[in-house]
Structure 1
Amino acid sequence: MLDDHRMTLGASELRARATEQGAELAALAGRASLVSGGPRRLLVWSERWRATVLSTPPTRPPADPELLSGMTAFREIASRADAARMEGRPVPALEREQRRLERQIRSRTLHMRGEAPGGGDRFDVGRLLERLGDEVRLVELAVLDGRVQVLLCGQGRVRRFEAGLLADAETEAEHVQAGLRRLAHPGAEGRLAVVEAAGRRLEELLLGPAAAHLGGGPVVIVPPGRLHRVPWALLPSLRERVLSVSPSAGSWLRARETAPPPDGRHVLVRGPGLATGGAEVPELAGRYACATVLEEDEARVPRVLDELDGAALAHIAAHGTFRADSPLFSSLRMSDGPIVVHDFERLARSPYRIILSCCDTALLASVGADELLGLVTALLPLGTAGVVACSAPVNDAAVVPLMLALHKGLGAGLSLAEALRDARAALPGDALHQATGWAFSAFGAA
C-alpha cells in the first residue's frame, strides 16, 4: 500500500519523504531477518526502503509556462544576488525574492502526480550475485538498533559481519570532513596524520572484520544515507582499490545494465568564478577533438542542458552549492545563474558519464527512511551510469592534475572507478594532493 501511494507522487522529494511511513516496518523486518532469516533476507529488507527514489525516473515537469518563467526569474535573481555578494553590497531584498521564487517553483513541482502505480523494480539477490561474479565485492551497510551490520556480497553468497555503532561512525566522519577542509589549504600538512588515523578508526567502525574478507578485486560500497559523506578512499583497506559508491545495490545493478548512448558525444562546461578558471577544460578540449566546449557566455543554462541531454561524457567545472534546507535547489553556477536539480530532472536522458570537478557536488540530504536527495541522485535514475563528484571543499589548483589524470584513464578505456584509482596514485604525495584525491568518489558502475 505504501508503494502504491508513493508512486502516485510525481515529485522525487515527496516520494523520498513518503518512505518515512515505512521506516518502522522495514526496521521490524530487519530485526526479524537478523534473528532467523539469514544474511540474504537481511539484504533484501535493507534494500526494501533504501534509495527507492532511484528505482524509477521522476515525473518530468510539464511544459508549464508559469513554471518555466519562474525558473528563469529565479536564475536571474540568484545571479544578481551572487554578484552583489562579491561586490559587498547588501542582498536582503534579493534573497527574499529568491526564496519567494523557490517556494513558487517547489509548490508547482510538489503538485505533480506520478505516472505509474507500483514500486519500481524489485530487488533480486540472485541477479546481483550473478553480476558481481567472483571478483567484485559489494558491501552493503545496514543499521539495526544503532549498530552497523556489514553485508558482504560476492562469490555467489552473502555474508554478515557486525561492525561498530553508527553514532560513533558519524562522529568520526565529521572529524574526517573537518580534517579534509583544513588540508584543502596549503600549510596544513601536520593534519595529514590525524586524518589518516581517523580513516583507520572509521574502517574499524564501518567494516569491522569484513575488511579482511574483501579479496583483491573491485569493491562497491553501499552506505546508509547518514554516512554518505564518508570519503571511502581514505579507509586503509580501500585506498588502493578500484572503488565505487552506490546509494543502493539495486541502483548499482541498474547502472551496470545501462547502455551508453550510440553517438558518443562529449561535452565540456566551464562556469564563471573558478580560482583556476577551470584550467583543465582547455587541455581536455585538445584531447577530445570533437567535444562541445561551453564557456563564458555560451555556458548558459538552456544551452548547457540542451548539450548535456543524451551525451556520453560530460565534464562540468563550475562552483557547486549544496542546499541542506532545500536539496533540489542544490546548484552549479553557470554564466546566467545556477543550474539546479529541478533542471536536471527535465532532461530526457542525463549524460551516461558525468564528472563534476568542484566542491560539495556529492553532498546529499538524507530524508525519509533511507533516501538521498541531491545532484548525484538526480542523475542516476535518468540514464547516468557513473558520476565522479566531491564530498568536501577542495583546492581548485590541486583538482586540475587529478582531473587530467582521470581523463587519461578514461581515454585508455578504463571505467570511472578504475580511472579515479589510477589518478589518485598519479598525484604528488603531499598532503594537499592526497586530500584532494580522497575527497572525490566514483558513483554508479560505468
Structure 2
Amino acid sequence: MSQDSGRVRELHQRGLNALNRGRPLLGARAFRAGLRIAPDDVRLLNSLAAAEAALGDTEQGFALLDRADALATADTKGLLLQQRGLLLVLVGRMDDALACLDQAIPLLRREQTVLARTLLNRAMLHQIAGRVTPALADLDRCERLAQDLGLPRLVAKAVHGRGSCQLLTGNIPAALRDFDSARSVYQSHADGMLAVVAVERARALLAAGLHSDAATELDFALREFPRIRMDQEHAEAQLTRAQVALAAGDLTTAKTWASRAESRFRRRGNETWAAVAAATRLRAEFKTRTRLGAVAAHASSLADRLASLGLDNDAEAAGLVAARAYIARGRTDEARQHIRPRSGSRSLLETRLMRRLALAELGSTTGDRRATFTHARAGLALLRDHRSRVGSLDLRTSTTSLGRELARTGLAAALAHGAAPVVFGWMERSRAQAFRFQPVRPPDDDTTIEAVAELRQLAHQVRAAELAGNPDQEARRRCGQLERAIRARGWHAEGVGEHRAEATFAQVRAALAGTTMISYAASDGRLWALVITRRRTRLVELADLATVSESLAKLHSDLDASCGRQLPAALDNVIKASIRRQLDALTAGLLEPVRPMLADNDVVIVPTGALSAVPWGLLPDMTGRPVTVSPSASTWLTGSDTGLATPSRWLLVAGPDLAHANDEVLQLAKVYGDGAVLLGPDATVQSTLEALDGCTTAHFATHGHHERENVLFSRLDLSDGPLMAYDIHQLRSAPAHVVLSSCDVGQTVVRNGDEILGFTAALLYSGTRTVVSSVASVDDDAAVGVMAAYHRGLVNGLRPAHALADATAAQPMMPFVCFGSS
C-alpha cells in the first residue's frame, strides 16, 4: 500500500467516524482532505455527498454523487445507490429514495457495515410512511449486523429507530425506554446524536401531553444543532417545537416556529417537510379563530398536496383542519366533504382524535346531539385505551389538547341537554380518569434506587441549610436534576391495559342516603353544579369561574398571612374582614343557589379546577357539617363500597423542626394506646414506610412541602430526609386512612381533565381511602387540640368527615379537608 493510499484511507475513516458521531462539518473536512490526494476516489465522493447534505447543501451532494456515478464500478454501485437514497430522503422524495435503497441492499453483501446503515435508513422510510412491521424487520436485522460487527453506535441507532416505531404505535413507555437506551450509548460514542434523540423524546412527551418537558428537550436540541451543523434535524426540531407550542395553547409561538421550520425546509429543497410545517402553522391559525375562510381554503389545498406526496396521515389531518374551519363558519356541507368515512390504517392517534372531534363539532352545529355524544365518547375511549398502556402516574394524569376539547364538547352538549343522568355521565368522563386504572409501582432498578437515595440525602442537606439561613444552591440544583431523572425513569413503566368503568348515575344516587353530592363543572367560563340526593336532582348555573377563582386566591393569601402570627390589631382586623368577604363571595358563588337541597345532610363535593383548593369547612353553610371532597363520583363510590376499617394498626409520626409535633403525637398515643410511635431520630423514612405499608390509620405531625413545579416530589420532612409522594407509590398496600396535620400538603396541582397531583393525591391514587389534610397554612399550636379531638372521634366510631366536623366546630380558621371517601 502506498503512503498516499494509506493516508486516504485514514482520512476517509476519520470522516466517517465524525459523521457517525453526528459531526458532519468535521467529516466534510476530512473527506475534502482525502479528495485533494485522490480526486477520483468514489468512496470519498460518496461520503462527502452525505456530509454536504447533512450540512444543508443537498444540491452539492447530488452533484458529488453524479460525479461518482461516472466513476462507479460493480463494487461501488451499491454504495452510491444507498447514498442517493439518503439524499432523496433529505429533499422529501420518499418513494424515489425507497426505490434506491431497495436496489442497493442486494448489492451490499460484501459491505456489511454499509448494509447495516442502509437497513437503518430504509427502516426510517418505512417508519415515516407508517409501515411499522417492515421498519422493525429492517431494524432488527441492522441491530444484529451491528452487534456482530462490534459497532455500538449503529446498535444504538437501531434501538433509537425502534423507539420511533414504538412511538408510532402509541407505546410511549417502550419508546422512551429505547430512546434512553440509545442516549446512554450516544453520550460516550456519538455526542452529536444527543440532540437528535432529544427531539424524538420530545415527540414522545408531546404525545403524552407533557408539553413543558417536551419543550425542555427541544430547547437543548435547538441550542446544539447550529453548533454541530445538522440542518435537516434542526428544521425538524423547529417543527416539533411548533407542535409543542400548539398543544400547549401558545399560538403565537407555534406560528413562529412553524414558519421558521417551513423556511428552513424550503431552503433545503425539501418541499415534503415544508408542507408538513405549513400544516402545523395552519392549525395554529385555526386556533386563533380568525380568517377562518382563508384557513379552510388553504388547509383543503394543502391536504391535496400532502396526499400527492404520499403523506396520508398528514393529508387527513390537514383536511380535518379545513373541516373544523368550515364548521366554525357554519358551512356544514363543505365540512362533510373533508371528513373521511373512516381514518386510514396508518392514521396516528392524534388524527383519529381530531376526526372524532370534528364529527362531534359537526353534530353540535347541526343540532344532532346524538352524533355529538357518540363521537366525543368514541374519541375519549380511544384516549382512555391509549392511557391504559402507560404505568407512570405522571403520564396517566397528562391529557392531550384534543382530549380536552373532546371532553369539553361532550360536556357542553350535555349541559344544553339538561337531563341529570346525561350531565352526570359527561362530568364523570371529563375528570380524574387516572383513578380508573390499576396503580403501577414505579421502577425500582439500581439506577433509580441510587438516584432516590442521593435525592433524599441532598434534600435533607438543602433543608438544613435553609433552616440555618445559608441556602445551598448547588445542592438544590442537583436535587432538581435528580428529580427530573427519577421522574423520567418512571415514564418507562407500562400499564396493564385495564380500567374500571365509571359509576352510573343510578349507582351513585342509590348510595346517597342522608347525603347530598354537589358535582361542579366549568363550561365556557361559567360554573355549573349538579346537585344529587337520593330523591332529588337539580342542575344549577352558578357564578363566573374567573370571579370565584379570584376570591379563592385572595382567601388563600389572607389565610397564609394570618396563620399563627401575632399581627398588629389594625392589620389583623383588615385581614379578618377580607377573609369574611372572600368566604361570603365563595358562598354566594358556590353554595347559595344550591342551599335548598342541602338540608341537614352530609355533603360530598366533586370539585373542578381551582375548586380543589377550597377550604369547604370555613364556608358558613358547611361549618359543623360533615363534608368529603372526592376527585370524582366514581372514586367516592368505590371508597364508600370498600368501607373504612376500624383503627386497629396505627402509626403516629413526629417530624423534626416542628415545635408541637412531639406533644401532638404523644397526646394521640394516649388516645390509641399501643401502636407505632416514631419520634425524633426514630422517625426515619425507612421505618415510616415499613410501618405505613398496610396500616389502618396513620398520622403525620411533620413539616410538609407542596412542590407545584414537580408535584411527584411533594414531601414530608422526617429525621433523615423527606418522605416523598414518589415513595407512596412504592407501597405494596396503602394505608386506609392518613392524617397530615401540618402545613398545606392538601394542595394539589390540577391538570386538564381535573387530574390531580400532589402528596394527598399520591395517597389516594395508591389506594388510601381517606386523607385529612389542609389546603392552606395551619396554625400548628391550635391544630394540636383539633387533632386530638378528631382522633377521639374516630376511636368512638365516627366516620372521618363527621369526626373532622366535630373537631373543628369550636376552632375557627382550620382549613382541613376530608379527601376521598368517608
Return the TM-score normalized by structure 1.
0.94
Mapping of residues 323-402 of structure 1, within 5 Å: 323-402=707-786
Which residue is 2:557 aligned to? 178
Which residue is 2:483 aligned to? 102
Following TM superposition, by how much is the alpha carbon of 1:70 offset from its aligned partner in structure 2, in angstroms?
1.1
Following TM superposition, by how much is the alpha carbon of 1:55 offset from its aligned partner in structure 2, in angstroms?
2.2
CA-to-aligned-CA distance 1:53-92 (integer Å, 9 cap, x gap)? 2223431123312111111110001101111222233412
Greater helix proportion: 2
For the 8 Å contact 1:225–1:372, the answer to whether it is kept is no
Q: What is the alpha-carbon distance in structure 1 between the residues aligned to residue 407 and residue 661 of structure 2?
A: 47
CA-to-aligned-CA distance 1:370-400 (integer Å, 9 cap, x gap)? 2110112111232311111001112211111
Query: Residue 419 in 1 paired to residue 803 in 2?
Result: yes
Which residue is 1:444 aligned to? 820
Q: What is the alpha-carbon distance in structure 2 between the residues aligned to residue 20 and residue 278 of structure 1?
A: 47
Q: What is the alpha-carbon distance in structure 2 between the residues aligned to residue 20 and residue 292 of structure 1?
A: 46
Which residue is 2:531 aligned to? 152
State which of 615, 621, 639 in structure 2 corresponds to 1:231: 615
For the 8 Å contact 1:176–1:195, the answer to whether it is kept is yes
- Counterpart residue type for residue 176 of structure 1: L
Which residue is 1:40 aligned to? 421
Q: What is the alpha-carbon distance in structure 1 between the residues aligned to residue 797 and residue 780 of structure 2?
A: 26
For the 8 Å contact 2:418–2:539, the answer to whether it is kept is no
Q: What is the alpha-carbon distance in structure 1 between the residues aligned to residue 647 and residue 697 of structure 2?
A: 11
For the 8 Å contact 2:391–2:439, the answer to whether it is kept is yes
Greater strand proportion: 1
Which residue is 2:70 aligned to? none
Following TM superposition, by how much is the alpha carbon of 1:282 offset from its aligned partner in structure 2, in angstroms?
0.7
Query: Residue 127 in 1 paired to residue 537 in 2?
Result: no
Moved more, 407-416 or 155-164: 155-164
Aligned in 2, Cα 1:37/1:68: closer, same or farther, shift over 3 Å? same
Query: Residue 195 in 1 paired to residue 579 in 2?
Result: yes
Structure 2 residues without counterparts, runs of 5 or longer: 1-381
Query: Residue 112 in 1 paired to residue 493 in 2?
Result: yes
Aligned in 2, Cα 1:261/1:412: closer, same or farther, shift over 3 Å? closer
Aligned in 2, Cα 1:348/1:225: closer, same or farther, shift over 3 Å? farther
Mapping of residues 79-98 of structure 1, within 5 Å: 79-98=460-479
Query: Residue 207 in 1 paired to residue 591 in 2?
Result: yes
For the 8 Å contact 2:771–2:819, the answer to whether it is kept is yes
Query: Residue 255 in 1 paired to residue 639 in 2?
Result: yes
3-state DSSP of counterpart to 2:750: strand
For the 8 Å contact 1:19–1:369, the answer to whether it is kept is no
Q: What is the alpha-carbon distance in structure 1 between the residues aligned to residue 646 and residue 743 of structure 2?
A: 31
Q: What is the alpha-carbon distance in structure 2 between the residues aligned to residue 280 and residue 263 of structure 1?
A: 18
State which of 445, 449, 452 in structure 2 corresponds to 1:71: 452
3-state DSSP of counterpart to 2:660: coil
- Counterpart residue type for residue 817 of structure 2: S
Larger Cα Rg: Structure 1 or Structure 2? 2
3-state DSSP of counterpart to 1:195: helix
Give identity over the alignment, percent: 35
Q: What is the alpha-carbon distance in structure 2 between the residues aligned to residue 70 and residue 12 of structure 1?
A: 19
- Counterpart residue type for residue 818 of structure 2: A
CA-to-aligned-CA distance 1:201-225 (integer Å, 9 cap, x gap)? 1111123411222121101111102
Q: CA RMSD in A?
A: 1.6
Aligned in 2, Cα 1:90/1:376: closer, same or farther, shift over 3 Å? closer
Moved more, 17-26 or 290-299: 17-26
CA-to-aligned-CA distance 1:128-157 (integer Å, 9 cap, x gap)? 011112x10000001111111110011244
Which residue is 1:430 aligned to? none
Q: What is the alpha-carbon distance in structure 1 between the residues aligned to residue 723 and residue 604 of structure 2?
A: 30
Moved more, 82-91 or 394-403: 82-91
For the 8 Å contact 2:516–2:597, the answer to whether it is kept is no
Mapping of residues 273-288 of structure 1, within 5 Å: 273-288=657-672
- Counterpart residue type for residue 150 of structure 1: A
3-state DSSP of counterpart to 2:497: coil
3-state DSSP of counterpart to 1:333: strand
- Counterpart residue type for residue 129 of structure 1: R
- Counterpart residue type for residue 10 of structure 1: G
State which of 520, 526, 546 in structure 2 corresponds to 1:141: 520
Which residue is 1:431 aligned to? none
Which residue is 1:28 aligned to? 409
Q: What is the alpha-carbon distance in structure 1 between the residues aligned to residue 531 and residue 552 of structure 2?
A: 22
Aligned in 2, Cα 1:90/1:202: closer, same or farther, shift over 3 Å? closer
Following TM superposition, by how much is the alpha carbon of 1:44 offset from its aligned partner in structure 2, in angstroms?
0.9
Moved more, 16-25 or 236-245: 16-25
- Counterpart residue type for residue 417 of structure 2: S
Structure 1 residues without counterparts, runs of 5 or longer: 428-433
Following TM superposition, by how much is the alpha carbon of 1:105 offset from its aligned partner in structure 2, in angstroms?
0.5
- Counterpart residue type for residue 512 of structure 2: L
CA-to-aligned-CA distance 1:224-248 (integer Å, 9 cap, x gap)? 0222111111222112211111111
How many equivalent pairs are there? Answer: 436
